[in-house]
Amino acid sequence: MYRNTLGTIVLSLFLIGDLGPAEAEQHVYVLNTSTGAPYATPERNGFQDQIVAEVFRRIGLEGRVAMYDASARALLNANTNVDHGVAMRIAGLEKKFPNLVRVPERLIANDFVAYSRGIDLSTNDWNNLSPYVVAYINGWQIFEKNLVPGQDKTTVKDPSQMFSMLDKKRVDVVLYERWQGLFRAAHTGVQVKVHEPPLASVDMFMYMNKKHEHLVDKMAQALKDMKADGTYQKIFDQTLTSLSKPGGN
């Protein structure tokens, strides 16, 4: 009898160790992301971190953001319910990942902008970039699909590398998402000019695995309420808008 009990305990511990974040902490709803600071941070004080936590708090649950280096792994884990959902993705994700259900209230609009060291550039047309050498992250389709044929460009894996290249005048323009770019520039000590208007703006949403679809409408309403009562804007300003001010980080 003692052996059977010990065997059961060992088996249980083995199974628990093999579980992903969602199964190991059923009381905590985990939405994953592959987007780092200022959206998600190890300290869990980024924009996504705070919005997700507050949305779940308002519906009487606990939620947090899990960070992944690999975007593909994050999406696979959400689609298979290893994690409960996704913290921030474009609309239409369910076409490729049928187990994901979009929370219909928009989380944020991602602006994709150009940064320079101060050149005179209007970004109301992609063609305006053609005289310049531009840099962007390898694989970012928003840029690869819209840059004009023959554009002088270079791609990199690390965003900090882009801003270092800009600072050393190896490229004229860096293309990136607005807030991540300002964060990277600040943390690499590069003084940049953000060119307006954005080259593109894309609405982003939260998603839940369909096993938790019953939470989607409640989450959408909670997010709407946060926007109405000023909580959303307070988090936005604290985590994002502050980056556009002198000394922002």
- Encoding tokens for residue 232? 């959303």
Question: 0.75 cut: is pTM over it?
Answer: yes
Average pLDDT score over residue span 119-132: 96
Which pLDDT score, from 0 to 100, does residue 63 have? 98
Report yes or no: 106 and 90 within 8 Å, Cβ to Cβ.
no
The residue behind tokens 């938790």 is 212
* Mean per-residue pLDDT of the chain: 90
pLDDT tops 80 at residue 6: no
Identify the structural domains of the chain with CATH numbers, from first to last: 20-107+204-244 (3.40.190.10), 110-201 (3.40.190.10)
pLDDT in tens, 30-65: 999 999 999 999 999 999 999 999 999 999 999 999
pLDDT tens digits, one per residue of 201-235: 999 999 999 999 999 999 999 999 999 999 999 99
Whole-Å CA distances, 127 to 121, 132, 152: 11, 10, 12
Does an H or E element contain 111, and which?
Answer: strand 108-116
